[in-house]
Structure 1
């Protein structure tokens, strides 16, 4: 079977790997000059299995209003004249109920737990390196109110079999010794012990090489113009330079850009880009640098150790498809790393980045079949593409190859949106 995979980010490459491993003839198309060069390029670096939850949650609308007035706010909304943006926002608001949150959370955890379970096998069988660590995530609380509010999260973590530890100030410092220097700035934390960290782009590049060794062909610098259909099947993908690329099956793993191709063939996918920012800086002193991931609950900023570098990522900006990195865009993430690890890294050498997270209004990715018998989706992972990549890639590849997936696709497909 010949399978055309659209997109060479972490989602597309993991899907291609699992397809090639099962004997498929795989062709991967991407407009960038190499793998993992868009949303996968400089994300937070978290494999955050324990922090899998939808953004749409009870209380979020009120929190969002407060965030908009913070000096270093985690959320920016630019009121564009975009019916698609406002429809997506309205759909998100309808998911901010207890009932919707519980349902969406259960669907997301199904994918992330599966990814957590299969990731070690993928690493063992490929032997790839990606600056990976297995020291968990420390959710850091600056106030007693945040610490008390975490009891609700603890109940959910216990329900979904995600191991955790509740830590006082000294416990946080034991997990992250460099925090001793700023011990007066936090009161405690919640440590998610099953979480891992690693450089998503390094992983994607290394896995692309392994996938090519299995016989897959990667065509970079190829902008996809349109998907061609006849009746109930896809018959080809038109590219800028290669012309039409044909296959027996097709997988769309284009993240935020998927809806631009899917809309013309009447798949109105509610995936919208939510912009995020990061900086990457060199470690200057290991004794004062983070050892794993710290999530600053106040600013919603993640600080992750990646080898001899520190990645600091956060901010949610709803601004359409703008990929502009303005002069003050990374001020919040720079503030947080300077505030918590003032001697750990060289901010003067920090490299800024921005990328578009493909968000669904309910937080759950869109996986599996479509109205076209040979077109499949693997998209809409939001901030959790790196976390869910191995699991969703393997499950979708199994489906394409006619093998029963090891997870239930109920509630994960486009059918939940009536498309």
Structure 2
């Protein structure tokens, strides 16, 4: 490694959700001088605030899958559909949807799921290391994920996922109804609603908001500077490089810049010629106080019918999921609340009162192939860590570590070329240098 690559650099991270804060942590651990900018008054107050709470590498799957176009048509006429498309003429949305539909093939699904599982499995390992090093607490549990099937056809359709899990060496268990109840005793009263399940014992749970806030305090102890309430106006560029960040509180400069603004990432770099295929998918959650421990989940249960995750977070149940294609609208929809309530009541009725729940919505930064965009760009000092969709919490530690390694001139511990922006640029591929180059180079 050259002395140039070992040089301490000033790095500005744009965004203080779980992705931005983990990026800052690993960059600071690598010896860099880090500043994080966010428009909110504190960390994890947007997409990372009240997500489903899953750390589920084995369940890392792209929404673009074989059969999804037909299912989407059927969902249009269902009251409790897991995917909702709000009618509106939006060229950005139409372009993104076309790219997503192009990924709804068996071959594309296998490739996309495999690389998503790769970064997610690595991320869980990085999180385990971080926990061991720091003792960070976040209502964490390590008791797996149980995907429950209400219909036999759903269980039969899990075969494609199982093949990918086998290929990637991810532990799993196929359970009958009794096996599901043994894994999650709270399902006993609703056992007649399910036919079986797929359990991933290596998955974990935890409160993303608590984690991000605690890691922020630990990063401050490493001299990371957090600038709250600062709105980013633009990235300035000259001579093919970023020269500064213009904000409502003045101009900031650094040697390297990291874009971690989730669903708001594309707008900030469009004028630089970067077309990030990221679109916001609106998700919802309920946070319900537990009233009967015996009826509550012990970990995460995925309700395959409604694509809803029901997760134990300390003395609360987090019910999260659904995907609404509605642009940047953040209004709360009572119809979506009814779907979340239906799922948790049918499976864990009596565990808590949904009427006492906190209802929340947030925007997930979704790529058409489901894989995040982590790494370099054609602009030498601009890096990306964005587009994690519904899996930002699951993939956060690993993405932050990969990014810090790339910026520091180290080869990541996992294959990372296919995680970068270059996969969206025809005829190019990533290089460790971060520049795009001919695919046969």
Q: TM-score, normalised by structure 2?
A: 0.93
Residue by residue over 1:39-74, the C-alpha shift from the partner in whole angstroms, topping out at 9 and shown as x without a partner, is 100000000111112111111111111122222111
Instruction: Provide the residue aligned with 2:433 in structure 1.
Output: none
Q: Which runs of 5+ in 2 are unaligned?
A: 1-8, 427-441
User: Quick one: which of 98, 102, 120 aligns to 2:106?
Assistant: 98
Residue by residue over 1:354-407, the C-alpha shift from the partner in whole angstroms, topping out at 9 and shown as x without a partner, is 000000011111111111111000000101111110101000011111222112
User: Quick one: which of 109, 112, 116 aligns to 1:108?
Assistant: 116
User: Quick one: which of 317, 325, 330 aligns to 1:318?
Assistant: 325
Contact kept in structure 1, 2:287 and 2:318, CA below 8 Å: yes
User: Quick one: which of 360, 366, 375 aligns to 1:353?
Assistant: 360
Q: CA deviation at 1:100?
A: 1.4
Residue by residue over 1:312-341, the C-alpha shift from the partner in whole angstroms, topping out at 9 and shown as x without a partner, is 011100011111113333110011111111
Q: Does residue 259 in structure 1 map to residue 259 in structure 2?
A: no
Q: CA deviation at 1:170?
A: 1.1
Instruction: Provide the residue aligned with 1:208 in structure 2.
Output: 216
Q: CA deviation at 1:81?
A: 1.9
Instruction: Provide the residue aligned with 1:245 in structure 2.
Output: 252
Q: Does residue 397 in structure 1 map to residue 404 in structure 2?
A: yes
Task: Count how many residue pairs are aligned between Structure 1 and Structure 2.
Answer: 418
Q: Does residue 229 in structure 1 map to residue 237 in structure 2?
A: yes
Instruction: Provide the residue aligned with 2:369 in structure 1.
Output: 362
Instruction: Provide the residue aligned with 2:423 in structure 1.
Output: 416
Could you tell me how far apart the structure 1 residues matched to 2:368 and 2:152 are? Answer: 31
User: Quick one: which of 52, 55, 66 aligns to 1:58?
Assistant: 66
Could you tell me how far apart the structure 1 residues matched to 2:171 and 2:38 are? Answer: 37
Range moving further from structure 2, 198-207 or 116-125: 116-125
Q: Which runs of 5+ in 1 are unaligned?
A: none
Instruction: Provide the residue aligned with 2:303 in structure 1.
Output: 296
Instruction: Provide the residue aligned with 2:92 in structure 1.
Output: 84
Q: CA deviation at 1:411?
A: 1.6
Range moving further from structure 2, 66-75 or 256-265: 66-75
Q: Does residue 327 in structure 1 map to residue 337 in structure 2?
A: no
Range moving further from structure 2, 35-44 or 398-407: 398-407
Instruction: Provide the residue aligned with 1:43 in structure 2.
Output: 51
Could you tell me how far apart the structure 1 residues matched to 2:114 and 2:305 are? Answer: 25
Instruction: Provide the residue aligned with 2:148 in structure 1.
Output: 140
Q: Does residue 341 in structure 1 map to residue 314 in structure 2?
A: no
Q: Does residue 191 in structure 1 map to residue 199 in structure 2?
A: yes
Residue by residue over 1:175-216, the C-alpha shift from the partner in whole angstroms, topping out at 9 and shown as x without a partner, is 111111111111111111110000011000000110010000
Could you tell me how far apart the structure 2 residues matched to 1:186 and 1:58 are? Answer: 23
User: Quick one: which of 379, 385, 398 aligns to 1:372?
Assistant: 379
Could you tell me how far apart the structure 2 residues matched to 1:152 and 1:229 are? Answer: 45
RMSD: 1.1
Which aligned segments of 4 or more residues in structure 1 are displaced greater than 6 angstroms? none
Q: CA deviation at 1:409?
A: 2.1
Q: CA deviation at 1:108?
A: 1.4
Could you tell me how far apart the structure 1 residues matched to 2:105 and 2:175 are? Answer: 29
Could you tell me how far apart the structure 1 residues matched to 2:290 and 2:283 are? Answer: 22
Could you tell me how far apart the structure 1 residues matched to 2:106 and 2:170 are? Answer: 20
Could you tell me how far apart the structure 1 residues matched to 2:353 and 2:279 are? Answer: 34
Could you tell me how far apart the structure 2 residues matched to 1:155 and 1:395 are? Answer: 27
Pairing of 1:252-291 with structure 2 (within 5 A): 252-291=259-298
Question: Is the partner of 1:85 in helix, strand or coil?
Answer: helix
Contact kept in structure 1, 2:127 and 2:397, CA below 8 Å: yes
Could you tell me how far apart the structure 2 residues matched to 1:331 and 1:44 are? Answer: 16
Q: CA deviation at 1:98?
A: 1.6
Q: CA deviation at 1:151?
A: 2.4
Could you tell me how far apart the structure 2 residues matched to 1:100 and 1:165 are? Answer: 25
Residue by residue over 1:227-286, the C-alpha shift from the partner in whole angstroms, topping out at 9 and shown as x without a partner, is 001112111111112x11110100000000001101111111110000000000100011
User: Quick one: which of 149, 155, 158 aligns to 2:163?
Assistant: 155
